[in-house]
Structure 1
Amino acid sequence: MAWNHRPHPYAQAEADGIYCKSTLAELMSAEPDVVVLCNPLKAMPAILAELKPLLAKSPRTTLTDVGSVKGMVRDQVKAAGLGECYVGAHPMAGNELSGWQAADPHLYDDALWAVTVDEDTSYNRFYTVAAMITHDVGNRIIVLDDETHDKGAAMISHMPHVVSTALINELSANPDRNVAAALAAGCWRDMTRVALTDPDRTRAMVEEDALNVEVLLRRMAARLTAVADQLHDNDSDALKEFFAAGNPFRRYKAAINAEDAFNRQELEIPERGWQQTLLFSARRGEAITGFVNLQQAIIELRPAI
Structure 2
Amino acid sequence: MSGTSARLAGPVEIVGTGLIGTSIALACRRAGLEVLLTDRDPDHVRTATGLGAGRPRTDDDEPQLVVVAVPPDALGKAIRDALDTAGPETVVTDVGSVKAAPLDAVAGHPAVSRYVGSHPMAGTEHSGPLTANAELFDGRPWAVTPGPDATASAARLVEALVVLCGAVPVRLSPYEHDRAVARTSHVPHLMASLVAGTLAGAPADHLALSGTGVRDVTRVAGGDPRLYSQIIGGNAAAVAALLTEVRERLDLALEAIAGDDRAGLESLLAYGQAGTRAIPGKHGAAPQEMAAVRVALPDQPGGLARLFADAGASGVNIEDVRIDHDPGRPVGQVEIDVVADRAEELRVALESKGWVTHR
TM-score bracket, shorter-length normalisation? 0.7 to 0.9
Cα separation, partners in 2 of 1:192 and 1:118, compared to 1, 3 Å? same
Q: Does the 8 A contact of 2:145 with 2:171 survive in 1?
A: yes
Match of residue 257, structure 2, among 212, 231, 235? 231
Cα separation, partners in 2 of 1:42 and 1:249, compared to 1, 3 Å? closer
Are 2:213 and 1:187 aligned?
Answer: yes
Partner amino acid, structure 2, of 1:9: H
Are 2:56 and 1:21 aligned?
Answer: yes
Which structure 1 residue ranges, 5 or more long, are not aligned?
Answer: 260-305
Are 2:41 and 1:6 aligned?
Answer: yes
Match of residue 39, structure 1, among 55, 59, 70? 70
- The residue aligned with 2:124 is 95
**Residue aligned with 1:8, SS:** helix
Q: Deviations over 1:188-240 (max 9, x none)?
A: 11111111111111111111111111111121111112012112222222222
CA distance in 1, matches of 2:208, 2:57: 48
Query: Which is richer in helix?
Result: 1
Partner amino acid, structure 2, of 1:172: A
**Residue aligned with 2:55, SS:** coil
Number of corresponding residues: 250
Cα separation, partners in 2 of 1:48 and 1:130, compared to 1, 3 Å? closer
Q: Does the 8 A contact of 1:7 with 1:22 survive in 2?
A: no
**Residue aligned with 2:42, SS:** coil
CA distance in 2, matches of 1:106, 1:77: 31
**Residue aligned with 2:92, SS:** strand
Please, what TM-score do these two structures have when normalized by structure 2?
0.64
| Deviation of 1:150 (Å) | 0.4
Q: Deviations over 1:224-257 (max 9, x none)?
A: 1201211222222222222222454444456645
Question: What's the RMSD between the two structures over aligned residues?
Answer: 2.2
Larger RCO, structures 1/2 (Cα 8 Å, 6+ apart): 1
Please, what TM-score do these two structures have when normalized by structure 1?
0.75
What does 1:1-305 correspond to in 2, within 5 Å? 1=35, 2-21=37-56, 26=59, 29-55=60-86, 58-78=87-107, 80-134=109-163, 136-172=164-200, 174=202, 176=203, 178-253=204-279, 256=286, 258=288
Q: Does the 8 A contact of 2:79 with 2:92 survive in 1?
A: no
Which structure 2 residue ranges, 5 or more long, are not aligned?
Answer: 1-34, 290-359
| Deviation of 1:148 (Å) | 0.6
Larger Rg, first or second structure (1 or 2): 2
Identity of aligned residues (%): 30
